[in-house]
Structure 1
C-alpha cells in the first residue's frame, strides 16, 4: 500500500498547488510525521485554508479506502504549518468469538 499512498500524496499536493491563493506547498517528514508547509499568495483565513486542504484531500482519496487527518500546528505571516496524514482505517482482521456486528465471518 505504500505505493498507493505515494500516489494519493502526489494527487493531493498537485490539487493544492493548483490553488491560485497559494504560493507554494511542500511536504516534509520529520521523525516519521508528515507536515505541510504552505505559503500563501494573499491573506488567507484559517477556515479558507482548511477548506482547501479538505477539498484537495477528498479529491485525492476519491474511490480509495483511505482517510486523512489534518491538524493546524502554527502560522507565521504567510507560512502555515499543518500535520497532515493519510491512513488506511483499521479493520477487524480476526474473529474474537463474541459474535460482533462487524465479524469477519459474517462478511464472507
Structure 2
C-alpha cells in the first residue's frame, strides 16, 4: 500500500482548515514529523489531526499514531505516522487460538 497518497490527502485536508496557516511533513531519520503552523491551542490542533487522519484513512485498513514532540512559537511538531495493523489476516492452518476464522 502506498502511504504517500494518504499523506498527501491528510496534508491537503489540514491546509484547507481556516485556522491553520501551514502544515508540512518532514522525514528525519525515516521518522515522519508533522509541522502545523497555527494560532490554535494544542488540544484543538490534536483534534484536527485526529479528524483529518481518520478522513484520509477512510476505507483502508490503516491506523494512525500521533505523539506530541515540541512547540516552537506558533508551530506544533508531532511525530505522526500511518501504519498497517500487525494482526493475522488469513488462516495458516496451525489451529491457532487467535485464528481469524474464530473472529466474529
Q: TM-score range by the shorter chain?
A: 0.7 to 0.9
**TM-score scaled by length of structure 2:** 0.87
1:66 counterpart = 2:62? yes
Deviating beyond 6 angstroms after TM superposition, the runs of 4 or more aligned structure 1 residues are none
Residues 82-105 of structure 1, C-alpha deviation per residue, up to 9 Å, x if partnerless? 0000000012266484531x315x
Of 14, 17, 26 in structure 2, the residue corresponding to residue 16 of structure 1 is 14
1:10 partner SS: helix
The aligned runs of 1:63-102 (5 Å cut-off) are 63-92=59-88, 95=92, 97=94, 99-100=96-97, 102=98
1:36 partner SS: strand
Question: Aligned residues, how many?
Answer: 101
**TM-score scaled by length of structure 1:** 0.84
Q: Give the Cα separation in 1 of the matches to 2:25 and 2:46.
A: 16
Q: Give the Cα separation in 2 of the matches to 1:99 and 1:48.
A: 43
2:4 partner SS: helix
Q: Give the Cα separation in 2 of the matches to 1:45 and 1:96.
A: 51
1:49 counterpart = 2:45? yes
Structure 2 unaligned runs (5+)?
none
